[in-house]
Structure 1
Amino acid sequence: MDFTRFETELTLLRGTLSKLLSDVLKMLEDSISSLKNKDLVLAQMILDSDEEIDEMNRQIEESVYQILARFRPMGKDLRYAITMIKLSNDLERIGDLSCNIAEKTQQYQNFDIYEILEAKEINQMLKVAIEMIKGAYKAFEERDVDSAIKIWKKDDIVDELEIEVRKKAINRLSDPDFSQELVVPYILLARDIERIADHATNLCEELVYIEIGKEIINIVREEQENK
């Protein structure tokens, strides 16, 4: 195998993945902005851009298949190339979830949704999820196992916050000061963000397995047992 050419092809592919990451993060941030500002034009732009994200994902998949066919990498190089497809798929799914949020702008345009967007749980979930996406991609580029494990652990924060949102939503059903029609979008928004964080953990799990051949959950258990 021509390793120099192989690495050049992977570098070019990482550039495409980086562009996909940038576009998806913008979709996510814009979807929240559209919801907060009841910006129907921006929401529709996000929905319209979904096909571009899907097409970029398809192009990345095809590029990986061509690399595999031309260079026939083995071992870790093979797993790394295949993981590029998984990364692309996860980013595409984050784009889909961003569209879900944009659709809520249309569905709840007549509701005073600002209250749930200012909820500390929602804001913290969003902050951590975005950090996880960026961190997971950086760890993948640098093949940084320790960083991947740290990012993976942050998913617990998002999960706990999502549970807190559901508890508060149930409690607010009997709160006369909270608009009842906001309960459903409050829960659904938290669920979308939680799923976005899950896609970041997927990449971390793949990276760690590629580099050291172990499942993250087993590594974390070993750490806890050795304390």
Structure 2
Amino acid sequence: MTQLDNEIRELKEELLELWLLVNLQLEKAQQSLISMDKDLAREVIANEKRVNSYELKLDRNCENVFALFNPVAMDLRFVLAVLKINSNLERTGDIAEGIAKFVKEVANDFDKNLLELINVNEMFETSIYMMANVLEAFENEDTKMARKIFKQDEVLDKINKKASGVIAKYCKENPDNIEQALYLLSIVQKLERVGDHAKNMAEETIFYIEAKVLKHKSKSDKKKK
């Protein structure tokens, strides 16, 4: 095994560690929202520093690989993919932190009926499922699984589109609870962006393995084997 092989292996291990941390952050953000656990929300907020540290370290290590080893072909695609996935993971961590901050700041528990109407828990479950699937696809170099992410994201898009109307109606009927409704609308929008980041990471996984660039292509093209 060459020194470059060792560097590639270490990069992958570090990226997977960050990925697992971000996935756990999302799961804890979900738990804190559903149970209105402000202590758990504070834990998510505090752990964001770890996410940021991982991101900076991975960026530096990728730069070192470029500078010292001049990777080519699949090795080059791998390092480029790690850089982009790293950025998407950091942004997903920001989303988990943002949701946790809403939980910490809101004065009263979220209206459970409204939570059900806008399908917040389904959005969480879908986004967490997508993040786990794309992690598995990357780790196992499974582009077939990576392509499944594009279909899964449609669930988040549909819920997000429906939520605006539901929230608008709720605000008219519950003018005293507008602030809380707007918090929840923001959470729905944040979870929709988790799906976007998962799609980006699926694209990078396919790029690194198959040397195919899917960015800006139609959904039907992305799903082709």
Report TM bin, short chain. 0.7 to 0.9
Question: Which amino acid in structure 1 is aligned with residue 173 of structure 2?
Answer: D
Matching residue of 1:14: 12
Map Cα deviations across residues 66-92 of structure 1 (whole Å, 9 max, x no partner).
Answer: 122222111232021121111111111
Asked if residue 125 in structure 1 is aligned to residue 120 in structure 2, the reply is: no
CA–CA distance in structure 2, aligned partners of residues 54 and 222 of structure 1: 34
Matching residue of 1:166: 164
Does structure 1 conserve the Cα–Cα contact (< 8 Å) formed by 2:102 and 2:183? yes
Does structure 2 conserve the Cα–Cα contact (< 8 Å) formed by 1:116 and 1:182? no
CA–CA distance in structure 1, aligned partners of residues 205 and 174 of structure 2: 48
Q: CA deviation at 1:212?
A: 3.6
Query: What is the aligned-residue identity percentage?
Result: 24
Does structure 1 conserve the Cα–Cα contact (< 8 Å) formed by 2:207 and 2:213? yes
Q: Which residues of 2 match residues 1-227 of structure 1 at below 5 A?
A: 4-119=2-117, 121-175=119-173, 179-210=177-208, 211-215=210-214, 218=217, 220-222=219-221
Q: CA deviation at 1:125?
A: 1.3
Unaligned runs of 5+ in 2: none
Runs of 4+ in structure 1 deviating by more than 6 angstroms, as ranges, are none
Unaligned runs of 5+ in 1: none
Aligned length: 223
Map Cα deviations across residues 9-52 of structure 1 (whole Å, 9 max, x no partner).
Answer: 22222221121112111211112222233322222222122111
CA–CA distance in structure 2, aligned partners of residues 214 and 153 of structure 1: 18
Flag the 1:65–1:165 CA change in 2: closer, same or farther, 3 A: same
Q: CA deviation at 1:181?
A: 4.0
CA–CA distance in structure 2, aligned partners of residues 174 and 70 of structure 1: 61
CA–CA distance in structure 1, aligned partners of residues 222 and 201 of structure 2: 21
Partner SS state of residue 173, structure 1: helix
CA–CA distance in structure 2, aligned partners of residues 11 and 176 of structure 1: 54
